[in-house]
Chain A
Amino acid sequence: MSSADIRDMLDLPSPVPAANRPPPAKRIKTDGKKLDGIHRELHNLLGENTPAVTVMQSKFKEKPNWMQKPSPWVWTPFKNPARKDDLELHHWVRGVPSNDEYPFAKFNKPVDVPTFSKEEYDKCLADTAWTSRETDYLFDLCRDYDLRWLVIQDRYDYKPEENEPPSMRTLEDLKERYYFCCRKLMELRRDASGADWTPRDLELYNAMNFNKDKEIMRKQYLERLLSRSPAEIAEEERLILEYRRLQESSKKLVQDREELLRLLESPQTANSFAQYQSPQGLSQLAGNILASDKNRRRKGAPEAAAQGGPVARPVPGTPNGGTLPQAVTPQQAAAVQNGVHGTKQVQQAGRAATQPAPAVSKTELAQSATAKKVAKRVPPGQETQYGVSYHDKLVQGVYLRSTKISTLKPTVQTKVASILAELGIAPKLAMPTAKVCERYEALQQAINLLIETKKQVDKLDHEVKVSTSGNAGLQSDAK
């Protein structure tokens, strides 16, 4: 409603043009103007042409018009055409009283309460519980009170005739009777006229489908709902929460079950897993997984599935008592080299580890396929010149030879270091070549052995001393 409507309703004269005309015009103008920030958002929300309910709060009061003479107020009589009697009332009107119709008369819209003739009543509205007179009374009341049921029920005071039982009508009874009659009348009139209902009629008909019992129950429910104690309300809330929780847990259960079933039906393994059932097998498997993981991360190129070398890779017999610094790889490295797919080879390697197999000498390796390739480039006798050598069980990769001198436990290491110092060997090798490293390793092992032997000797020595002194004590006692 714009200010013009409000003024119209309140019968105020139109305002001074200058101050207030621009706002309505302004609003339309801004449609074309560039809008900023909040105004743009508002317009986007409302749409271009919708004049929303705006509260015109002009910050400034109207400029009082000093020039005009004040218009007088007149005590005017008026009549309300909506009234049936000719009641004349008075009110103050500003300025010149106009003889327009009383503006509030148009609000007197009555409700459409149907009327029916006696024939219609006899045809379809006859009812054991209701007499014709009472029904008419009811309808009159409805008409008078505009179908306001509470009022009707309150004012319902039917005075029955002598032969009729006294009427105790509840609100629901009245409603039921009224709606029943209306529906029946609609049906009758439709059948009579032959024309089918409009959708609006159908709506009306369906809306009047009054179910007394349901209504009574509904009202009882509402009563009960209203009259709950706080304790009851809290309990109900708790129950609802619990119910929801139960629902969720049951849903989760179903999901877990589904997942388990899916797992159970997971794809079958290609190879048999019998080999992985022993403890060695398990450790092999763990090693395989670890190594394959490392391989996948380290190398982009997939490992060659075809193996060039011999299949069985038992631990080589150590030629001269010293272990090769390069061949200190565990069985799992062998498994790695065989590739994760080569289960047969793993089996063989596992079996070979448990039985002492004949040592594969270096000459055999030298005759392997790799060596053949190598031999093309390097004349066989000159391998050392190129620094080429063959080993079992190599961990792939590059390293500095100085880094691969094996270390022992720290306590042992210190003892070894001190002995080395005594012998005049520097802790850091001056020239870590292959041979030198070998010798150094051998030396370390020997020193280790020496330390162990010394320990044994000391222990025995001590024991002997103890027993001899004990014996001596006994002998002296015995004597």
Chain B
Amino acid sequence: MSSGSKRLKNLQICRPFVYGNMAVPLKEDRSPDIPTDHTHSWTVFLRGVNGDDLSSFVKRVVFKLHETYPNSTRSIEEPPFEVTETGWGEFEISIRVYFVPEASEKNVVMYHHLKLHPYGPEAEQQKLEGATVTSMQYDEFVFNEPTESLFEILTKKTAVLPQQKSTLVPFSVQSENEELDRLSDAHVKVQENIQRLTERMHALEREKGAVRTL
């Protein structure tokens, strides 16, 4: 057994990444071989947070599109792991990530709803502008007890989130902290409520005891 395939116990290493899609409404000057009922051109992708290269540990990404697309199972073997297509409807795309053989891991799958139309208070305006619509999701690959080779690969480069938010990279330390803060606030509130309720409970118990003895 080579040292590469030995697993490091108690060790967990994670890598963040982003997946999602961007969509742009098709303009008048589109190429004629796009069917006329397609309204948008979209790209579904899976990439590292900073534009990092995932191919060091990701061998291939398989995007399964809607059956009506020809070759609806698109297998992307090298970066950038993305598929660009045109269409008119929103559907669920399954993204299956296969890791490099050194990892000896099985594939993971995630689902992404393709977003074409803008949403929210400025939807109408955005539609008129023909603005790009994006829907992205942050997630992390968590490797429990990675093999040594995988560990080597993953520790070649650091995986740090960018400090600030930016339009291209909406996930950063800043956004993380925002979330953390939100959660902490909520937690504090809940704790307050619990406190209140426990006090109330004690009071009621005393009352009950008092009533009993009457």
Interface residues of chain A, those whose CB is within 8 Å of chain B, are 298-299, 301-302, 304, 307-309, 326, 337, 365, 368, 370, 373-374, 377-378, 382, 385-392, 394-402, 404, 419-420, 423-425, 429-436, 439-440, 442-443, 446-447, 449-450, 453-454, 456-457, 460-461, 463-464, 467-468, 471
Contacts and interface: CB of A to CB of B under 8 A. Distances in A.
14 contacts: A373-B8, A386-B155, A387-B159, A396-B7, A398-B105, A419-B190, A424-B182, A425-B186, A430-B175, A435-B176, A440-B183, A442-B187, A450-B193, A467-B208
Contacts of B105: 397-398
Given A304-B7, A370-B8, A398-B141, 20 more contacts: A374-B11, A387-B14, A387-B140, A388-B12, A389-B11, A389-B14, A390-B10, A394-B144, A400-B139, A401-B142, A402-B139, A423-B185, A424-B182, A424-B186, A425-B183, A430-B175, A436-B183, A439-B180, A439-B184, A453-B201
Contact of B16 (A299, A433, A463): A433
B144 A395 contact: yes
Nearest to B182: A425
B165 to A, nearest CB: 11
A386 B140 contact: no
Interface of B: 1, 5-16, 99, 103-106, 108, 110, 137-145, 148, 151-152, 154-155, 158-161, 171, 175-176, 179-180, 182-187, 189-191, 193-194, 197-198, 200-201, 204-205, 207-208, 211-212, 214
Contacts of B141: 398-401
Contacts of B204: 457, 460-461, 464
Contacts of A386: 13, 154-155, 158-159
Contact of B194 (A307, A392, A453): A453
A439 B155 contact: no
A326 B144 contact: yes
Ranked nearest first, the 6 interchain pairs of A and B with the lowest CB-CB distance are: A460-B204, A423-B186, A394-B144, A439-B183, A387-B14, A401-B140
A431 B101 CA distance: 28
B158 A385 contact: yes
B158 to A, nearest CB: 4
A131 to B, nearest CB: 106
Nearest to A385: B158
B155 A431 contact: no
B211 A378 contact: no
A301 B1 contact: yes
B5 A301 contact: yes
A456 B106 CA distance: 45
B175 A398 contact: no
Contact of A309 (B9, B190, B207): B9
B147 to A, nearest CB: 9
A382 B158 contact: yes
A429 B159 contact: no
A471 B214 contact: yes
Contact of A301 (B104, B171, B179, B208): B104
B27 to A, nearest CB: 32
A321 to B, nearest CB: 11
B192 to A, nearest CB: 10
Nearest to B148: A373
Contacts of B211: 464, 467-468, 471
B138 A387 contact: no
Contact of B140 (A400, A430, A440): A400
B10 A454 contact: no
Contact of B179 (A373, A392, A431): A431
Contacts of B189: 423
A203 to B, nearest CB: 79
Contact of A394 (B10, B171, B184): B10
Contacts of B13: 386-389
